[in-house]
A and B are shown apart, each in its own frame.
Chain A
Amino acid sequence: MDAELQEIREFLAASPDFAVLPEAALDRLPKQLVVRYLRRGSSFPPEGTEAADLWLVRAGAVDLRDSHDELLDKLGEGDVYATPADSDPIVPVVGRVVEDSLFYMLPARESEELRRQHPEFAERFDRASSRPKEKALAALQGAGSQGDSVLTVSVGELITRAPESTSPEATIQSAAQHMSEQNISALLVMANQELVGIVTDHDLRKRCLATGRSRKEPVGNIMSSRLQTVSPETPAFEALLLMSRQDIHHLPVLAGKRPVGLISTTDLIRHQGTNAVYLVRDIRRCESVAALSRVAKSLPELQIQLVQSGATAFHLGQAITAVIDALTRRLLKLAEAELGAPPVPYAWLACGSQGRREQTVHTDQDNALIYADSDQEGVDDYFVGLAAFVTNGLDSCGLPHCPGGVSPKNSDWRRSVSDWRNAFAKATYNPDLKGAMLAAHYFDLRVVHGDATLFDPLRSEALASGARRPFINQMVTNALRHSPPLGFFRQLVLVRSGEQADTLDVKKQGLLLVSSLAQVYALLGRLTGMHTMERLRGAVHAGIINRDAGANLCDAYETLATLRTRHQVKQLKDGLRPDNHIPPKSLSALERGHLKDAFSVIATMQKNLRVQLAGTGSL
């Protein structure tokens, strides 16, 4: 091509839509373009254009509205307008140029040819199946990902040898001999070809040598029989988290009922650099709040490491939450040591992003507490002290107190079982918006420590009774209180002319909108999953939303979360405090494109929900 049109080629290559084209196709494009200037106030696309014409905004801005004048989209510099292939003539899109604008137009004939030759390009304008660009999302997520990290392999790929086993009747001595001959640290215990237990170095030490138990006793007496197992398909990362959460070091791998391997934390750590497991171990060893706060300082480092090794936002959330859960548990143990044993059983609950396991290092506390009903005096006082100890401890570990007062220090969030039952009932039976907002919090509560049987039945009851029309309507209203900031792109456009655009709060203006939708779906489908992605997948499975919609929302969520973790890693590296506020200038054209796709998916799903709510039929 002519080197003179290089500048136009560069502009095309920076557009997320055209960037998918191979170099040679990009080289040919500038010469096929027609440049058009449209004045502010003109209708768009202008008269006399063909449906297949593609319009790339070179400068300026265009509003796209539906026939009810509701804003569907804003196009700014680098954005492309294409008449959707499946254009519904009943719902025409009305475009208006809102700023004097210059366009590069690819005429219908060339545009059709280009779409025919490059399906990956055509796909971007095929809104019927507007799968927001999985491949590109993968590209966005991870240039730096190492192919073979624990984040991408499955447990099955880590198995190096068949597991060694013994029977429960074998003596402790023979089991120990077997282990030292094979140079292994754990042995499966099998009875009638079924796994019944596991015996480890640790068991031998603690339950035999340390207690003076006879080595002639059967190994069945010292084995661990409450087993966690995984399948070969389990992602290695999940296995790692399971071990961190449960504080165990060996996991039998079962194909059906047949043991095919045994993996250890060492296997996993050897496989990559994450120190989530070390961090959890260090946390467990801390004997004071001061020591804990020192260990917690490496949380940001963990986030940087995970992101750089290609962790998805999902993985990152799981890992950070595992560590914060561990911190919380350790603080509770320290508190119990200082305040004495609790007078009645209780459970410590996590709410919000911790409840959903979606945390990043920029997070504040969101907790609640439930304790068994009792007539005893001073029960609540004990938990007031416990709450103060733990929340102050978390604060000194870099997790600030909840600004919204969602804390067991607050009696609204520290209740006995029957009190909580009343609170749930009040929130779900009194269908006002305030109740729905509270209920939205309640549905994200998860037991972090203590007696899960106190809380879990409440949740199931609420799920079972909550799916009533008036309550669901309020939950939908709650979920639709905020819409994605499509106007954000308008502001991006204005940055050029010197106006300062606001930053984007990627959590409040993006992630939480998806989470709220997922919550409504979870309620409709009585889904027990808590993570937004889990809920979305569950909703597809339960037929609440269709597969494309589910996949689109998952992608939107992952896009937003990826942009957030990237932004935070950059801040951490620059020595800044991580936050959720992304300055628009820091976004590349590609990221901007993805962000916009994510917003339009959210807007569409919100609209669908609103329509369903307004409809007379069942949701």
Chain B
Amino acid sequence: MPDLNGDCSSTPFLAVDLETTGLNPREDQILSIGWVAMDGLAIRLATAEQRWVRPTRDIPEASAVVHQITDDQAARGGSLGEALAHLLGALAGRVMLAHHAAVEIGFLDRACLAEYGYPCMIPTVDTLKLAQEELERRQETARSGGLRLNALRQQYNLPRYRGHDALLDALAAAELFAAQVTHRAEGRPLPLHRVLHRPGGLW
């Protein structure tokens, strides 16, 4: 289990991104899940994975455009249960990391409830929340759109990815997190609890 007082640069993380048909976990569906593991701040692409989920309803046109996922593609995916089992396997012993983690938490809680009968109690860090904290620390307010993944990445001189899918977004969040922690730590240890968004029910 990750140590709350341990240094971020030696904590295992798993950056996760979900592509969904909308933002409401009650109505919308998960289309794909992408993830990549970080050992401390080193992102290991060997662990990068993406799972498509076969939707139980047709994909609304608008989200198909955003995610460039078609019904055909989605139809080749597996069940949500299968995808979830793989994700939880990858998450074992790791802290989850996402940009605007509320969405991931909301959808994963609901999926876990449906699958296993209790919510997904994974300790989580949120890069968007870290960015907000950073602004507060400097007593600034976010400009419109300034907290979006790409806008934040630009601040840290991170490249712009052209693609837009669950895995690439998970990677993008992982890189952003590495940059945020590197800047905040300033060469000193940064305990995990300082960046944790939700401790998770298991602790």
Chain A residues within 8 Å of B, Cβ to Cβ: 2, 4-8, 30-39, 58-60, 99-102, 105
Are the C-beta atoms of B163 and A35 separated by less than 8 Å? Answer: no
A102 surroundings in chain B (CB, below 8 A): 157-159, 175, 179
Q: Which residues on the A side are within 8 Å of B156 (C-beta)? A: 37, 100
Chain B residues at the A interface, C-beta cutoff of 8 Å: 34, 41-46, 48-50, 156-159, 161-163, 165, 167-168, 171, 174-175, 178-179, 182-183
List of A residues within 8 angstroms of B43 by Cβ: 34-36
Question: Given A35-B171, A59-B157, A59-B158, is A2 in contact with B48 using a C-beta cutoff of 8 Å?
Answer: yes
User: If A39-B183, A100-B157 touch, does A8 touch B163 (CB 8 Å cutoff)?
Assistant: no
Check A36/B178 contact, CB under 8 A, given A100-B156, A101-B157: yes
- Please indicate the chain A residues that have their CB under 8 angstroms from the CB of B168 in the complex: 4, 7
Are the C-beta atoms of A7 and B45 separated by less than 8 Å? no
Task: Tell me if B's interface is mostly helix, strand, loop or mixed.
Answer: mixed
Please name the residue on chain B nearest to A35 by beta carbon: B43
Residue of B nearest to A497 (CB): B157
Besides A37-B179, A102-B157, 11 more A-B contacts (Cβ < 8 Å) are A2-B50, A4-B165, A30-B45, A31-B45, A31-B46, A35-B171, A35-B175, A35-B178, A37-B175, A39-B183, A101-B157
Would you call B42 and A7 a contact (CB within 8 A)?
no
* Interchain CB contact under 8 A, B182 and A35: no
Determine the distance from Cα of A37 to Cα of B178 in the docked complex, in whole angstroms: 6
> Which 7 A-B residue pairs are closest in the complex by CB-CB distance?
A35-B43, A4-B167, A37-B178, A100-B157, A59-B159, A33-B45, A39-B182
In the complex, chain A residues whose CB is within 8 Å of the CB of B165: 4
Could you say which residues of chain B place their CB within 8 Å of the CB of A4?
A: 34, 48, 50, 163, 165, 167-168
Q: Which residue of B lies closest to A100 (CB)?
A: B157
Residue of A nearest to B41 (CB): A37
| Chain B residue nearest in CB terms to A59 | B159
B41 contacts across to A, CB distance below 8 A:
36-37
The complex places the Cα of A30 from the Cα of B168 at a distance, in Å, of 13
Nearest residue (CB) in B for A105 is B42
A105 to B178, CA, bound (A): 15
A36 and B157 form a contact (CB under 8 A): no
Task: With CB as the reference atom, state the residue of chain B lying closest to A6.
Answer: B163
Q: Select from chain A the residue with minimum beta-carbon distance to B160.
A: A59
User: With a CB–CB cut-off of 8 A, which chain B residues contact A36?
Assistant: 41-43, 178
CA A164 – CA B48 in complex, angstroms?
A: 75
Kindly state the separation between the CA atoms of A203 and B175 in the bound complex, as whole angstroms: 81
Does B179 contact A100, Cβ atoms closer than 8 Å? yes
Chain B residue at minimal CB-CB distance from A8: B45
Complex Cα spacing A37 to B40, Å: 11
Query: When chains A and B are docked, how far (Å) is the Cα of A202 from the Cα of B44?
Result: 78
State in angstroms the CA–CA spacing of A7 and B171 once bound together. 12
Are A7 and B48 in contact, with the CB atoms below 8 A? Answer: no
Task: Check A34 against B178 for contact (C-beta < 8 Å).
Answer: no
In contact, A35 and B158 (Cβ under 8 angstroms): no
B46 CB → nearest A CB, Å: 5
Cβ–Cβ contact A32 & B46, under 8 A: yes
Report yes or no: A60 in contact with B167, Cβ–Cβ below 8 A: no
Is A7 within 8 A of B34, CB to CB? no
* A-B contacts, 28 listed (Cβ < 8 Å): A2-B50, A4-B48, A4-B163, A4-B165, A4-B168, A5-B45, A5-B167, A6-B163, A7-B162, A31-B46, A31-B48, A33-B45, A34-B42, A34-B44, A34-B45, A35-B42, A35-B43, A37-B41, A37-B182, A38-B182, A39-B182, A59-B157, A59-B158, A99-B157, A101-B157, A102-B158, A102-B159, A105-B42
Set of chain A residues within 8 Å of B44, measured between Cβ atoms: 34
Complexed CA–CA distance, A35 and B44 (Å): 7
CA distance A100 to B178 in the complex (A): 11
Provide the bound-state CA to CA distance between A59 and B172, in Å: 13
Q: What are the residues of chain B within 8 A of A7 when measuring CB–CB?
A: 161-163, 168
| Most chain B beta-carbon contacts within 10 A, residue among A4, A34, A102 | A4
Give the one of A39, A99, A101 with max B CB within 10 A: A39
Shortest distance from the beta carbon of A4 to any chain B beta carbon, whole Å: 4
- A8 vs B161: C-alpha distance when bound (angstroms): 9
Bound CA span A8–B48, Å: 12
Shortest CB-to-CB span from B203 to chain A, Å, is 27
Residue of B whose beta carbon sits closest to that of A41: B187
Residues of B within 8 A of A60 (CB): 157
A58 lies within 8 A of B171 (CB): no
Chain A residues near B175: list those with CB within 8 A.
35, 37, 102
The reply to whether A2 and B174 form a contact with Cβ atoms under 8 Å apart is no
Q: Which residue from chain A places its CB closest to the CB of B174 in the assembled complex? A: A35
Residues of A with C-beta under 8 A to B174:
35
Contacts of A105 in B (CB 8 A): 42
User: Which residue from chain A places its CB closest to the CB of B32 in the assembled complex?
Assistant: A4
With a cutoff of 8 Å between Cβ atoms, the chain B residues found around residue A58 in the complex are: 159
Partner of B45, one of A6, A32, A37, A101: A32
Which residues of chain B come closer than 8 Å to A100, judged between CB atoms? 156-157, 179
Task: Output the least CB separation between B97 and chain A (Å).
Answer: 13
Distance in Å: Cβ of A399 to nearest Cβ of chain B: 46
Q: Which residues of B contact A35 (CB under 8 A)?
A: 42-43, 45, 171, 174-175, 178
Shortest A1–chain B CB gap in Å is 10
Pick from B43, B50, B157, B165 the residue with the most CB of A within 10 Å.
B157
Q: Which of B44, B45, B168 has the most CB of A within 10 A?
A: B45
Chain A residues, Cβ within 8 Å of B183: 39
Query: Would you give the shortest CB distance from A510 to chain B, in whole angstroms?
Result: 29
- Given the complex, which residues of A lie within 8 Å of B163, measured CB to CB? 4, 6-7
**Cα distance, A6 to B48, chains bound together (Å):** 12
Cβ–Cβ < 8 Å partners of A99 in chain B: 157
Q: Of A32, A33, A35, A99, which is in contact with the most chain B CB atoms at under 10 Å from its CB?
A: A35
The residue in A31, A32, A102 that gathers the most chain B C-beta atoms within 10 A of its C-beta is A102
